[in-house]
Structure 1
Amino acid sequence: MTFLIDAWLDRPQPWLRILDRDSGRVCAQFGPQAIAELQEQGDLDLASLTSSEPSVLKELLHNLFLFYYARALQPSIT
């Protein structure tokens, strides 16, 4: 499976999506709060997003998916 990172971080309400390259299906989506948290943790930076190095991109995707699924497993507070 091949993925595409679709990000727009330089806007008032930034977002980042991971898409399945073949189908275009959104596999994970991050809003402003999640992006800020990822940047604070050091798991998301512009250098890794603009890299053409496969190992850097693979590690970035790995970290993004781990964060996405860890958040999905957290119980929601009501």
Structure 2
Amino acid sequence: MTYMIDAWLERPHPYLRILHRDTGEVCALLEEEALAELSEQGDLDLSSLSSTEPLVLKELVRNLFLFCYARALRPHGDLH
């Protein structure tokens, strides 16, 4: 399975989506709050987003998926 990263970070309400390359289906969505959390943790490396290295991008997508899953498993009242 291959993915594309669609990131709009330079806007009032930034977001990042991971899309299935073949279907365009949104597999993960990180909005402003999640992106801020990733940034605060030091886990959002903007230079990785512009990389053309397949291994760098693969690791980035993997980490973003893991972050999304971990966030989804938290109790609703626990933001961090």
Counterpart residue number, 1:62: 62
TM-score after normalising by structure 2: 0.91
Cα distance in 1 between the residues matched to 2:29 and 2:20: 12
Q: Which has the higher contact order (CA 8 A, sep 6+)?
A: 2
Tell me by how many angstroms 1:44 deviates.
1.2
Counterpart residue number, 1:49: 49
Cα distance in 1 between the residues matched to 2:75 and 2:41: 21
Cα distance in 2 between the residues matched to 1:68 and 1:2: 18
Tell me by how many angstroms 1:40 deviates.
1.7
Does the 8 A contact of 1:6 with 1:16 survive in 2? yes
Cα distance in 1 between the residues matched to 2:43 and 2:61: 10
> Alignment identity in percent?
68
| Structure 2: gaps spanning 5 or more residues | none
| Structure 1: gaps spanning 5 or more residues | none
TM-score after normalising by structure 1: 0.93
Q: Which amino acid aligns with 1:69?
A: Y
Cα distance in 2 between the residues matched to 1:16 and 1:4: 10
Counterparts in 2 of 1:1-78, with a 5 A limit?
A: 1-77=1-77
Give the total of aligned pairs. Answer: 77
Tell me by how many angstroms 1:45 deviates.
2.0
Cα distance per residue 1:5-44 (max 9 Å; x no partner): 0000001100000000111110000110100111122221
